[in-house]
Amino acid sequence: AFKRNILRVSPDILPPGSVRISEAWVDDEPYSNFDAEGLTVKLPETKEQIRVKVRLVPTQTGEATE
């Protein structure tokens, strides 16, 4: 079981803040209950086993500001 049904997906080998979640799926269906920058997915309430998949993308850094 996950504490408060929160799945953390932060990769160990990448520096903090270098990626974010762009998309998530639960049992191959699009899922939107996630924190992109916090790299967490709020899991649905269920007693069944589920499959969670996320797509990580690089964060945008070094953008010019005026």
> Scanning the structure block, which residue is given the tokens 């269920």?
46
Residues 36 and 22: beta-carbon distance below 8 Å: yes
Q: What mean pLDDT do residues 12-24 have?
A: 94
Average pLDDT over the chain reads 90
Please give the model's pTM, rounded to 2 decimal places: 0.83
Name 53's Cβ contacts closer than 8 Å, sequence gap at least 6.
Answer: 24, 25, 28
Q: What mean pLDDT do residues 29-51 have?
A: 96
Whole-number Å distance between alpha carbons of 45 and 12: 27
Query: Token pair for residue 3?
Result: 């504490």
Residues 19 and 57: beta-carbon distance below 8 Å: yes
**Sorting pLDDT into bands at 50, 70 and 90, what band is 64?**
very low
